[in-house]
Structure 1
Amino acid sequence: MPTDALIDADILAFQAASSAEQATYWGDGMWTLHADEKEAKRKFKGMVDSILERTNCDEATLVWSSTLNWRKGVYEPYKSNRADVRKPMVLKTIREWAQEEFHSIVEGSLEGDDLLGILATDPALDGKYIVCTIDKDMRSVPASHYNFGKDEFFEVSEFEADKYHMLQTLSGDPTDGYSGCTGIGPKTAEKILIAAIEEGTPWAKPEDMKALYWKHIVKAYEKAGLSEEFALSQARVARILRHGEYDFKTGEVKLWTPAT
């Protein structure tokens, strides 16, 4: 049974900072926006406490995204769609406060999602962590999960995680600014992967199945007039890192490579 809640703190900070904002109308067309820092801190702490209570965990480990991002070196437009989006007024303040107040990890050029994936799949820590987030991307991480937005507990197997990674490779993620394969949404992506599974049933071993996934994905990209190289860039940015895919000594990311 997990003893440590591994929490996506980027989401908590954003939600806490957003909830502390209030618009005020002064009349004659004049509006102002202000934020209550103390209220944001209370909200943040309350969410952490609630997660600990619901998961029955003794400790909380908060993971944060670095200001650097290795994915931009793989696919430059990654998250560029967020550049002009206004951030909550006290977000930076809440991040700095929370990183001092709670056990927190920020690392190199990693996103918080990567830290969730690396720690949750470390065999030396097997069973210690439960991943706590509302981010659907984390369904590509084989681990125990708690979605605190839906108050939902679930397990993700390695097979399910690998398949979800391939689904995102095909359909992309507009929220994160990568397109995937032109003209392919989640439903079509699912059909493509089912065709790969059917081709591999019943003989395919896990590595064979991964190779079949990639074969069908490349075929879909080429049909859309896109190269295998572009497909690989999409697969790499879609990949949430797992144990062994990052070197904490050198800060180097081991980029995902398709099975052959």
Structure 2
Amino acid sequence: MTLLLLDANGLAHRAFHSTASNRSYREDGFPTFAIGRFLDLVYKALIDVGRPQCATHAAAIFDPRGKNWRHDLAPDYKSGRSHDPDLRPQLRLCRELVKGLGIASVQMVGYEADDLIATYARHAEEAGMGAVICSIDKDLLQLLRPAVAVYNPMKRSMVSEDDVLNRFGVMPPAIPCFQALVGDTTDGYAGIPGVGPKAAAELLVEYGDLETLIANAASITKPALRAKIIAGADQARLCRRLAVLDDAVPVRRDLDDLELRGADPDLLIGGLKALGLIHWPGVFAERLQVDPRSIPPHPGITELSDEIMEMVSA
């Protein structure tokens, strides 16, 4: 048995940015342009990963709104990110419509999607299942191990340990230590100023992990680098805490709830029609081998999108 874990927020952002130059809206102004592309990425992951890997379970993991435990450690965490107002309404619809592909939709207040993915990957491993993570997020590469694979949906291929080593100069478990040294501007933490990727990789190869490096910083032969590590030790420890994924989230849904189900054409195709999309209903009707003319617009999706539109306009 295999659990397919979809970094749904990451896929939705990728779909959004790939279609943002050709935006489309429903007659009332509701943005719709990223939704079909998001579902297309999910469907292709099911084809590329689900069938060859015999996926029996699947979950689309979304980030909740609001702050999480990392903000308690670093109030400015991710504060520099900009948010396009056209994205969030579509994210809410993505959460609902992905169910039409038979995939559970999961999120949990107070935790990032990456933490839930780490937790479910551990649960699957402990249950004797395989896990495949579908994401291009470098943070999730730390989870790569024999029982947990990572699939790149843009390249449509699996990521190997050699791929990680060639990209970062360290193996997957060392990625949080690497990020602690070099920082992550996307997530809003600086690491140790003046320590670049090459130096960070060389130090971790020599010393193994961050704490061993800090404990032996006096032995670093380059004076300037030695001074930076000693001065930035506490900052690096904080950054590593932010980078390490929490795999002990008290999730409310167990693995049985994530069983991969058959597609729901009424929800999927009817939902796309309810949003006024013209191209995608036909695409998914052909894939699911149903007649799109027999499926009316889904009233639940119409009602949900109307409610979101009212909230946005208020």
TM-score, normalised by the number of residues in structure 2:
0.62
Aligned-residue offset at 1:240: 1.7
One-letter amino acid of the structure 1 residue matched with residue 78 of structure 2: K
Q: Name 2:246's counterpart in structure 1.
A: 241
Q: Name 2:172's counterpart in structure 1.
A: 161
Residues 141-196 of structure 1 show CA distances to partners (whole Å, capped at 9, x for unaligned) of: 13211011222213559x93321221111111111111101101111001111221
Aligned-residue offset at 1:87: 1.6
Q: Name 2:35's counterpart in structure 1.
A: 41
Match of 1:99 among 88, 95, 101: 95
Q: Is the 8 A contact 2:204 2:210 kept in 1?
A: no
TM-score, normalised by the number of residues in structure 1:
0.73
Secondary structure in 2 matching 1:80? coil
Match of 1:53 among 33, 47, 50: 47
**Which piece of structure 1 moves more, 115-124 or 231-240?**
115-124
Structure with the larger helix share: 2
Q: 1:170 to 1:219 in 2, by over 3 A?
A: farther
User: Mind listing any 5+ residue stretches in structure 2 that lack a counterpart?
Assistant: 163-169, 253-314
User: Mind listing any 5+ residue stretches in structure 1 that lack a counterpart?
Assistant: 24-32, 198-208, 250-260
Aligned-residue offset at 1:58: 4.7
Q: 1:171 to 1:216 in 2, by over 3 A?
A: farther
Aligned-residue identity in percent: 25
Aligned-residue offset at 1:92: 1.8
Q: 1:88 to 1:11 in 2, by over 3 A?
A: farther
Secondary structure in 2 matching 1:193? helix
Within 5 A, what are the aligned runs for 1:1-260?
3-22=2-21, 35=25, 37-55=31-49, 56=51, 57-67=55-65, 68-82=67-81, 85-87=82-84, 89=86, 91-101=87-97, 102=99, 103-122=104-123, 123-142=125-144, 143-155=148-160, 160-197=171-208, 211-216=211-216, 223-224=227-228, 226-242=231-247, 244=248, 246-248=249-251
Aligned-residue offset at 1:214: 4.9
Q: Name 2:283's counterpart in structure 1.
A: none
One-letter amino acid of the structure 1 residue matched with residue 84 of structure 2: K
One-letter amino acid of the structure 1 residue matched with residue 156 of structure 2: D
Distance in structure 2 (CA, Å) of the matches to 1:54 and 1:217: 45
Distance in structure 2 (CA, Å) of the matches to 1:234 and 1:111: 16
Q: 1:184 to 1:22 in 2, by over 3 A?
A: closer
Residues 66-121 of structure 1 show CA distances to partners (whole Å, capped at 9, x for unaligned) of: 22222111112211111xx24251x2222212222321111121111111111112
